[in-house]
């Protein structure tokens, strides 16, 4: 009878509690199952698998050095476990908890059911600080739980693993093997532990010096943001390890003269805060897995209208052909690189929902498969937040023209991704439709007027928020999901508008304005 350590979004050997515990108990079969049905979903893509595969190759090499090679199988997890159990007998299955999409949630339930029928012990361990099974209750003590979890010592890498010699080694399939079509990502980001170490070292060595100021622009954010999201999504490095390295760096900076600090303490504090919010949003989906398909607030859920996959506005937005230059530049950049800074992610989602009136689920699926760092636990609560579905946030309707001028004042980013506008004067770059005599080499006219579309969105939203019982339902949402950690707000919080008497209390991080 053996132990199986099932790897999912935790492709590492350091700070891997299931692996560490199995290593001291006896023979270990490290297992990763490539699930073709998962990779056929509407929110998965080739770019994500490429990042996952690179992390798997790195993990495989390291496990082989420790003595027990990674066993990779293709198929359903239940079928794979059944074959292993029939061949060698499984005494215990160890794994990290995963806050994935509804598909993986149901998969995990099926695995537990199978193990129960076969007498296989199952041990799952937290890795992100979220509370498994938190289907009821409030957020009143969540921040303290998260802080205590992140302060625990990281699990040491095993010195040696005892292998299961009957297991056969198989190659890791390529994207082509899985039938994943090329999705246009020409500059994929690596998802390995080595990439994470290099990124963190360079951030602390000076790359993050302008983090707070530069994170808002897609141009400067490309360099000064941490860029750790892909290796965190593959689990090649744990959030806990990153946080503890940041805490250590912060202590070292405190003992360094200000003039000699490669990055300011405030930059590290901001990154720590972002990682906290990462856990905060993941907890939302962990607490209510169907938030992937259901709006937080019942009034918004009742008002939803589905968007067809071939909807012209959805297609134009997803391809970067809306005729609104900064929106299109961000979407084309995302298509080509698989990454976009947070503020621009919020803007393109807001534009899809408010200006174009698209259902958040349709636009959210498109963004999900474009993000190499897609993590359902972060993605779907954020999609709903930026689409105004929660009822506990003052909606933020971005002005894409103003954002283009503010975040790309010299037009470098816009011209890079929209070469059709190369000859348009800078003062008209974000509004080329005002230069009617110019030939923009096939660049489309805007599919909406951004000013009138924003006004219409405000009117629709105002009408919804006047629905009887709206405030009471919003308070229930806040009680379950609202943040209590008030000191970790936006890097540049603004004073929120006065709340209605029946509105819920709002977190500073979630108090957002209509125009920006």
Helix (H, G, I), strand (E, B) or coil at 168: coil
Q: How far apart are CA 487 and CA 344, in angstroms?
A: 24
Q: Tell me the pLDDT tens digit for each residue of 348-361.
A: 999 999 999 999 99
Contacts of 125 by beta carbon, 8 Å cutoff, 6+ apart: 17, 18, 94, 95, 96, 97
DSSP 8-state class, residue 140: T
Q: Cα torsion at 64, 66, 67, 69 (round to 10°)?
A: -30
Residue 453 has pLDDT above 50, yes or no: yes
Q: How far apart are CA 380 and CA 364, in angstroms?
A: 7
Q: Tell me the pLDDT tens digit for each residue of 113-147.
A: 999 999 999 999 999 999 987 655 678 889 999 99
| pLDDT bucket at 486, cuts 50 / 70 / 90 | low
pLDDT at 187: 87
pTM of this prediction? 0.92
Residue 94 has pLDDT above 60, yes or no: yes
Percent of the chain with pLDDT over 90: 86
Residue 323 has pLDDT above 90, yes or no: yes
Dihedral (CA of 493, 498, 502, 505) sign = positive
Per-residue pLDDT averaged across 261-269, rounded?
A: 97
Q: Tell me the pLDDT tens digit for each residue of 16-55.
A: 999 999 999 999 999 999 999 999 999 999 999 999 999 9
pLDDT at 495: 34
Percent of the chain with pLDDT over 70: 92
């Amino acid at each position: 009878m053996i132990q199986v350590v099932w790897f999912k979004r935790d492709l590492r050997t350091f700070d891997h509690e299931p692996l560490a515990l199995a290593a001291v108990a006896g023979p270990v079969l490290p297992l990763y199952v490539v699930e073709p049905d998962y990779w056929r979903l509407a929110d998965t893509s080739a770019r994500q698998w490429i990042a996952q595969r690179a992390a798997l190759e790195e993990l495989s090499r390291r496990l082989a050095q420790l003595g027990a090679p990674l066993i990779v199988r293709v198929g359903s997890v239940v079928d794979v476990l059944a074959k292993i159990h029939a061949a060698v007998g499984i005494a215990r299955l160890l794994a990290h908890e995963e806050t994935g999409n509804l598909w993986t949630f149901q998969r995990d339930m099926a695995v537990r059911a199978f193990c129960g029928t076969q007498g296989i012990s199952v041990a799952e361990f937290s890795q992100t600080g979220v509370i498994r099974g938190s289907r009821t209750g409030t957020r009143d003590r969540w921040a303290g739980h998260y802080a205590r979890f992140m302060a625990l010592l990281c699990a040491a890498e095993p010195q040696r693993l005892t292998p299961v010699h009957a297991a056969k080694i198989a190659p890791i399939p390529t994207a082509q093997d899985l039938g994943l079509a090329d999705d246009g990502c020409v500059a994929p980001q690596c998802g390995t532990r080595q990439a994470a170490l290099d990124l963190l070292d360079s951030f602390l060595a000076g790359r993050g010096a302008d983090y707070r100021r530069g994170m808002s622009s897609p141009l400067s954010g490309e360099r000064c943001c941490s860029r750790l999201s892909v290796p965190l999504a593959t689990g090649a490095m744990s959030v806990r390890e990153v946080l503890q390295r940041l805490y250590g760096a912060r202590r070292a900076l405190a003992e360094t003269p200000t003039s000699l600090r490669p990055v300011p303490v405030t930059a590290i504090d901001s990154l720590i805060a972002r990682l906290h919010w990462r856990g905060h949003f993941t907890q939302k989906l962990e607490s209510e897995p169907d938030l992937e398909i259901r709006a937080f607030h019942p009034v918004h859920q009742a008002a939803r209208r589905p968007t067809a996959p071939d909807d012209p506005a959805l297609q134009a937005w997803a391809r970067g052909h809306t005729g609104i230059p900064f929106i299109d530049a961000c979407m084309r950049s995302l298509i080509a690189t698989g990454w976009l800074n947070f503020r621009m992610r919020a803007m393109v989602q807001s534009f899809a929902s408010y200006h174009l009136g698209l259902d958040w689920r349709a636009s959210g699926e498109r963004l999900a498969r474009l993000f190499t760092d897609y993590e359902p636990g972060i993605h779907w609560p954020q999609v709903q937040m930026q689409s105004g579905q929660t009822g506990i946030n003052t909606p933020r309707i971005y002005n894409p023209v103003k954002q283009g001028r503010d975040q790309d004042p010299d037009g470098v980013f816009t011209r890079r991704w929209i070469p059709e506008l190369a000859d348009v004067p800078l003062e008209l770059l974000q509004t080329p439709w005002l230069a009617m005599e110019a030939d923009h080499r096939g660049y489309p006219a805007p599919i909406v007027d951004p000013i009138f579309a924003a006004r219409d969105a405000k009117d629709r939203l105002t009408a919804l928020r006047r629905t009887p019982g709206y405030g009471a339902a919003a308070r229930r949402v806040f009680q379950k999901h609202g943040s209590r950690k008030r000191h970790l707000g936006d890097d540049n919080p603004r004073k929120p508008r006065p709340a209605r008497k029946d509105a819920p209390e709002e977190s500073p991080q979630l108090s957002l304005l209509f125009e920006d």
